[in-house]
Amino acid sequence: MNLKTLPKPFFVLAPLDDVTDTVFRRIIAGCAPPDLYFTEFVNVDGLQSPGRPNLMKKLLFTSAETPLVAQIWGKQPENFYKTAQQLADGTFARELGLPEGVNFAGVDLNMGCPAKDVVKTGACSALIKDWALAEDIINATKDGLAGRLPLSVKTRTGFDKVSMEWIEFLLERKLNMLTIHGRTRKEMSKVPANWDLIAKARRMRDHSAPDTLIVGNGDVKNRQHGLELAERYGLDGIMVGRGVFEDPFAFAEKSPWLDMPKEQKIELYKKHVELFDGTWKDRERHIATLNKFCKIYINNFHGAKELREQLMAAGSAKELIKLLDAAA
């Protein structure tokens, strides 16, 4: 896929671990699809180990969720090389049982996740402090892809403090796309995203890497908000993460969500539960995973809080569906 064929600005569903799996992506696709999807982040060192089958659920997708970028992370450059090679040549697609010709549209390197247990290993946002390893990982991934799929990086504006030198370093690697979350790792999500820094990165791009697309990320509520940000800061794309928790129609030109009756919201959650049950037949994901989605749908109507409490105590999809049918 050529990322430059995407509309300007294009909209991306952010990778959220244990959230934006194939089930939720299909729900979003049915409500109002973005222009580009990302997988959850998947560890290359695990993929190139006997534990590979356990991680394949993070790469699972259907043709309804395309184009889809595989987001990867880890520590060993040789495993990035192997994983990139197998993503590009369709090995993973075949293992997932996808139809001939259906494959990932790109590969993204996670150099921004701030989670303490991940950073402790020296991966993701810890790479902001380890440029040598970051460069080895980028080069190994490029070699594995061999130009067959575009390469992007998702990162933050620094680790303990803002480092535009880090952004310049990444731009010098001539990536196809760079997504910048407007906070440092230290800031986590405790302060508003700094879009002026994202705009600064875009100006740096204009000078040193004109072919690299710049995507802004952080606190984007919906398409309208994203369009305003893209125009104000001159960005190629906008990534929406937590905004979909407020509105599953976040990518719509005009969302119906606020005025949607209780019955339709309940029906959409029921569809999510049924998709979950049909997809993870062998319990690859625990039923409690559905709890984090409950507030998206069961919200802003009379009795929503009480219904959420009942749903979050349910122990099976069957029980959830029974409760939803009774409440509709």
The residues annotated as belonging to the active site are: 113
In whole angstroms, what is the distance from residue 207 CA to residue 210 CA?
7
- Residue 286 gets which letter from DSSP? -
CB-CB contact of 248 with 296 (8 Å) = yes
- CA dihedral 292→19→251→31, nearest 10 degrees, is -70
> How many other C-beta atoms lie within 10 A of the C-beta of residue 173?
17
- Residue 185 gets which letter from DSSP? T
Enumerate the β-bridge partners of residue 181: 156, 217
CB-CB contact of 131 with 137 (8 Å) = no
Tokens of 35: 């222009």
Name the phi and psi angles at 68, rounded to 5. -125, 130
Burial 127-141 (b: 16+ CB within 10 A, else e): bbbbeebbbbbbebb
Rounded to the nearest angstrom, the gap between the alpha carbon of residue 12 and the centroid of all alpha carbons in its chain is 8
CB-CB contact of 198 with 235 (8 Å) = yes
In whole angstroms, what is the distance from residue 220 CA to residue 222 CA?
6
Nearest CA-CA partner of 299 in 270, 271, 258: 258
The region that residue 275 occupies, defined by phi over 0 for left and psi between -120 and 50 for alpha, beta otherwise, is: alpha
Which H or E run contains 42?
A: strand 36-43
In whole angstroms, what is the distance from residue 240 CA to residue 248 CA?
11
